[in-house]
Structure 1
Amino acid sequence: MNESIFSRLFRYKQTEKMSPKENYLTEMLAWMIDSLSQFGQDYVLFLNSKCKEKLNFDANCTFTVSAETQFRVTKGIIDMVIETDCGYGFICEHKVDSSLRENQIKDYSECDKEINKDLTFKTVLLTKSKDQHEQNPDIQIIWHDVYEFFSDPIRKESYNADEKIIIEQFLKYLTEVGMGMKEAINPNGVTHYSAAMNIEPLLSSIFYDIYRDFQKSDIEEQCPGLHDFLRESKFLLNTPGKESGRIGIKFSETWHPGLFAGVQLNNKDNSLQNFDSPQLVVIIDCMQGEKNNFQEKLWYKSIDKDKQSKEETESGFRIQTTSDNPWRVLILHKPLTTVLSQCNEDYYEQMENIKKEIIDGINWILNYYKLSCEDA
């Protein structure tokens, strides 16, 4: 291990134009190939198993593997190049949310002699989804394929304790960013604190998939009036993240107002009610000093008035309008177990049901907003 994994990841920083997610995964993978000799061999054999024309690797013979990232050639910069001491190598292009440029795979394959004239190279396209598979590389795989290969319990047993920890963390990260485990959540386990903490990676995966669905569709069609309500000049769906004990999606960059929808796992955010189990929430926040202004809005006054006669929305969200938090305007919440119990124990059904509940909660608020605009 010549270099720390943390040093490799520190090279990449978030910018407006680029998420470092692709580079993080590439650097993690390259570091493990270089640092864990058996992992490197296993990864090469995995790639060969997916190759259209298999290479002559002997799985029973030990061979050395090395990986180099950001490999510069005349036609661009290759994400990762893998070389072995048995005559073969791989030119790897990795994608998460971005797409290939025209002829990118072909251009890289034509630069093979620049990399190592003594090796036969195969091209690899590793993406988030199969929808991104194009340009006809020798090997087409998705990150979930990598997850499945290395999460195999029999394969895991062949690694020592330290190696297992590293690989498990890599697999956990893949799940958290929506490319690992696609496993349904057991509703019966959600009410127990320890079990609820174990569902964090599954919820992260679910919300990444929901976020991707929102990106592909017109949010205004599902939540009419949302742009006007949020007053965003540039509307963005932020990638899901954990803060104050919650996992979900921010629907606005600014808080005029801000909108968050997701799952509150615990009571780290002390402005919320003391939830006794994880809750699906829709939260309206504002900039500090603006709370009184929002509470004077017609839509908020209508909600607060109706709350006296009905403490729940039509879809079963409980309504919370009082809070000592200077940023918190309104909270809708319902037990996550209730949401999960309305569908089968199936990952995609649970994802769709959570998305539907979020849309219902947002639209409930927007209906008050639209009525107040008409009244005004």
Structure 2
Amino acid sequence: MFSLRTISSLWRTSKTDLIVQCQQQKQRLSSATFTVHPYKLHRIDEGPSTEVTCTRDQAINYYREMTTIRRMEAAANALYKEKAVRGFCHLYTGQEAVAVGIEDAITKKDAIITAYRAHGWTYLRGVSLVGVLAELTGRETGCARGKGGSMHLYCDRFYGGNGIVGAQIPLGAGIALAQKYTNSGEITLALCGDGAANQGQVYEAFNMSALWKLPIIFVVENNGYGMGTSAERASACPLFYTRGDYVPGIWVDGMDVLAVRQATEFLAKMCRDGQGPFVMEASTYRYFGHSVSDPGTSYRTRDEVQEVRRSRDPITMFKENIIQAELVTSDELKQIDVDIRKQVDEAQQKSRTDPELPIEHLYHDVYANMIGNDIRGITPFQRHKHQNTSKPCNITI
């Protein structure tokens, strides 16, 4: 039998040890370091570190953002198949780590311009789930009041999804020129796919950007296929990070959100120091076809897609890594999944039922600054009243 004094002493010692262990556990769980896939460099002597630190808060945020985009795209897919979305619909499923990694490495004052696979980017730039899905279904609550649809979404410092293949690249160079001209200290990221990387206007933009030393990062999201043709068949040189020739480049594993963030931070700092432009190739993969109407199986096998899902999925890999590193628990991530599912389901329902834009509003907000009150119609005698219904547009960069 232990005496009361002995029991009391043991209890105090155990309590102290427990507190110390809890404090050590809390400190250990606040961050973790991960090793990412080695980068490939072009005209860059030394690249970013392959040892990347991630805090607990960052891990939760990255998981939440990637999972939200994944589920939002599933909702867009369902809406398209029930014919609530008309026209084209290009999904970002599988490529979430590229957008999430880049967005966390820059500021909201920096500019983004991309192609038509833009739903996830629009959400990350600040548009709500309703704002994205309602735009797809042509509702007034969409971020462009239903006028743009799937390929033309916009918000502050996000210059859209653009429907013309590769055309966003010279537009991005123009934005970067304005940033340099005004000495804003901001940078631009202009994104295109591997299919668009063979466009002549892309190389014209590279050339001008290099001549003028513009603060821009050209990002080639190489998802393996330009529409239905593999990059190896369509490109004489599929090493897109070298395709700028005189423009320095870097290859990064686009399925690893931490690798993308690290590479973007590295290039963004040099851009702000006046060393731009750069080309970054993010090696990624899309699970669906080029658009929802493309089954995506006539030019690749189902086994190929399933193998990528099994071995390289950006969300699954990140989830496993942060759980093993004890940054989060499986139960915490399950609760995040439940919350996201609820939010997306509610936004999806609103995108079905919110009102459409009145016909008389089709001629509103055509110009940021209207000279005169009328817009000429299809004949010289046809006039339409112009009106700005949104907040004044700040057209300076």
More strand by share: 1
TM normalised by structure 1 equals 0.23
TM normalised by structure 2 equals 0.22
- Specify which structure has the bigger relative contact order, considering alpha-carbon pairs within 8 angstroms and separated by 6 or more residues: 2
